[in-house]
């Protein structure tokens, strides 16, 4: 009687590669039949949020993705570690409460007036040139909040371009 190991030793390298290709192809076809798409490729983007020089406490801001219909998709980064202040960004907070997401790993320190935050985020390739936007919502204690301080469409035109904010954000820049 022949055991598995002695039989596999006789397989040639080309036989093994053919079997491996067949196995991968079968897995992809089986996944497609079940409606499971292969994971989309993502780009790592470096996003700079530069704040204006204003008089007041450090700003909290939420950087999030908006779909072509203008609806919230997901949070990419939150500047400000204390969750008790998140409701001061009411638009984003409402979105997050409707579509909960664990944001612990994408939260950093609040940002002082005139300072900048530079963050790295993953953005799926299929979102580019498809109408998706980056939006930044800002809040500063005892001052006016800005629900869409800056918005920028994800496209080739965005790369390296300075997009001006309307409140506490002086500019947003994205690099891939």
Return the pLDDT at 176: 86
All residues at 6 or more sequence positions from 160 whose CB lies less than 8 Å from its CB, including other chains: 173, 174, 175
Same domain, 81 and 25: no
Return the pLDDT at 35: 45
Where residue 30 falls (left for φ over 0; alpha for ψ -120 to 50; beta otherwise) is alpha
Same domain, 26 and 97: no
Same domain, 20 and 97: no
Same domain, 13 and 70: no
Percent residues over pLDDT 90 in the chain: 72
Q: What is the CATH number of the domain that holds 148?
A: 2.60.40
Residue ranges making up the domain that contains 91: 42-175
Q: Which of 131, 148, 122, 132 is nearest to 62 (CA)?
A: 148
* Strand pairing category for 146-153 and 133-139: antiparallel
Question: Does the pTM of the predicted model rise above 0.85?
Answer: no
- For residue 172, how far is the Cα from the chain centroid? 15
Same domain, 22 and 58: no
Same domain, 17 and 48: no
Q: Per-residue pLDDT tens for 71-122?
A: 999 999 999 999 999 999 999 999 999 999 999 889 999 999 999 999 999 9
Bigger pLDDT: 169 vs 26: 169
By the 10 Å C-beta count (0-12 exposed, 13-18 middle, 19+ buried), 20 is classed as: exposed
Residues in the chain: 176
Query: Into how many domains does the chain fold?
Result: 2
Same domain, 109 and 158: yes
Same domain, 27 and 68: no
Q: Give the chain's mean pLDDT.
A: 85
């Amino acid at each position: 009687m022949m055991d598995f190991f002695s039989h596999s030793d006789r397989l040639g390298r080309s036989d093994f590669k053919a079997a491996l290709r067949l196995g991968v192809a079968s897995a992809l076809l089986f996944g497609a039949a079940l409606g499971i798409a292969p994971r989309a490729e993502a780009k790592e983007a470096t996003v700079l949020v530069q704040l204006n020089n204003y008089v007041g406490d450090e700003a909290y801001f939420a950087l999030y993705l908006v779909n072509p219909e203008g609806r919230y998709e997901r949070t990419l980064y939150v500047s400000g570690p204390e969750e008790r202040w998140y409701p001061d960004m009411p638009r984003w907070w409402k979105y997050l409460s409707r579509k909960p997401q664990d944001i612990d790993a994408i939260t950093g320190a609040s940002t002082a007036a005139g300072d900048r935050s530079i963050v790295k985020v993953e953005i799926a390739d299929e979102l580019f040139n498809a109408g998706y936007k980056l939006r930044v919502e800002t809040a500063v204690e005892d001052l006016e909040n800005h629900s869409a301080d800056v918005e920028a469409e994800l496209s080739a035109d965005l790369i390296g371009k300075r997009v001006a904010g309307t409140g506490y954000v002086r500019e947003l820049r994205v690099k891939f």
